[in-house]
Amino acid sequence: MTITQLEYIVAVDTYRSFVAAANKCYVTQPTLSMQVQKLEDTLGVKIFDRSKQPVIPTEIGEEIIAQARVLIAESEKIKEIVTDRQKELSGELKVGIIPTISPYILPKILNSFIEKYPQVKLIVWEQTTEQIIQQLKLGTLDCGLLSTPLNESALTEIPVFYENFVAYASKSSKLFKKKTITPEDIDMEEIWVLNEGHCMREQVLNICQRRKATKGFQHFEYNTGSVETLKRMVDMNNGATILPELALAEMTDKQRDRVRYFKSPEPAREVSIVMHRNYLKRRMIEALKNEILEFVPKRLRTKKKKEIVEI
C-alpha cells in the first residue's frame, strides 16, 4: 500500500470517474486503474463498483476512502513541518468564498496579500455555501470564507468578523420614513431577496420572521444571486432589501440616504474562515485571516450589541 495508491482512490471518489481522476493526478487512465486494482488486490476487497456510472465506492470502499483521506492529510503535515521552518510562505492556497462576501473583501485584500507573500499562489472560487462545504470535505479546497455557524462536525470554524445587516429602502417604502428600524417594521411583500441556495437569503428571512406576513398579491417575483442587483432593483423600482454592511462602502451620498440601520441589538452575520477539521497550510490560512482583519473596520471585529442571525 502506498500514499500514491491512496491518492488515486481519493481522486476516483472525488471525481467519480477513472478518466477524470487520472487527468487530475497527471497520469494515464491505465496507470491509475492498475494502481487501484493493485490496492484492491492487496486488501482483498473491491473499493469501487465499476458497474455503475458514475463509478461509486462499495460499502467497505467508503470506509477505506475516508481513512485514506486522513492518512493523506497526515502525510502532508510532514511537508508542513519543513515549510514552517522556512521564513517565506510558499505554495498554493485554494479558497472558496460565497458571493455575498467576495466582492466586498477580495478586491480590497488581494494586492496587499500578493505583495506580502509573493511565493503564495492564491486560487479563489466564488461558490455557494453548500458547494464550498462539499469541496472542503473532499479536500479540493484548503479553506472557505463563509457565514457561520454551519454545525458541520467535519469542519473547523475560526470567526473573523461580525457584519451588521442594514435595510436599503426606496422612498416609497415605509422603512424610508424611519430613522432606525426593527425587524418588526419589515414588510416581506416589499423586500427583494436572494434566490434559494444563498445562505444570506435564509438569514434575511430569519430577521423578518418576527413580522407576520400580510395577505396581498405580488405582481412580480425576481430571482438573483447578486447583492448588487438587489440594490439596483431598489434604485430603479420600489420596495426595499437587506444588505451586509460592507456593501455600503462604495455607495453614493444619494444611495446612503436610503440606508436604515437596525436598533440595538443589530442583526449581524458571523463570517469565519472554515477548514476541514484535519486542515493543513495553517500559516497561509492565518496570513489570509490577518489580511482580512486589517481591512475590516474595528466595529465589525466584535459581536457586542449584535444578534447573530442563524443560517
CATH code of the domain in which 33 resides = 1.10.10.10
Domain match, 109 and 245 both: no
Domain match, 211 and 301 both: no
Domain match, 260 and 292 both: no
Q: Which residue is listed with cell 454551519?
A: 150
Q: Where a domain ends, among 52, 83, 114? A: 83
Question: 196 pLDDT exceeds 80?
Answer: no
Domain match, 259 and 167 both: yes
Domain match, 52 and 135 both: no
Which pLDDT score, from 0 to 100, does residue 215 have? Answer: 43
pLDDT (tens digit per residue) in 154-176 = 999 999 999 999 999 999 999 99
Alpha-carbon 257 to chain mean position: 31
Domain match, 288 and 145 both: yes
Which structural domain range is residue 210 located in? 163-266
Domain match, 217 and 253 both: yes
Strand partners, 274: 144, 157
pLDDT (tens digit per residue) in 227-266 = 888 889 898 888 899 999 999 988 999 999 999 999 999 9
Q: Where a domain ends, among 49, 83, 117? A: 83
Domain match, 278 and 192 both: no
Which pLDDT score, from 0 to 100, does residue 216 have? Answer: 42
Domain match, 54 and 181 both: no
Domain match, 300 and 249 both: no
Grid coordinates in use for 146?
A: 463563509
Q: Where a domain ends, among 41, 62, 83? A: 83
- pLDDT, average across residues 20-31: 94
CATH of the domain at 191: 3.40.190.10
Helices and strands of the chain, counted as H and E runs: 10, 12
Domain match, 70 and 27 both: yes
Question: What Å distances lie between residue 176 and 205, 214, 246, 258, 266, CA to CA?
Answer: 20, 19, 20, 7, 18
- pLDDT, average across residues 35-58: 94
Domain match, 147 and 176 both: no
Task: Give the number of domains in the chain.
Answer: 3
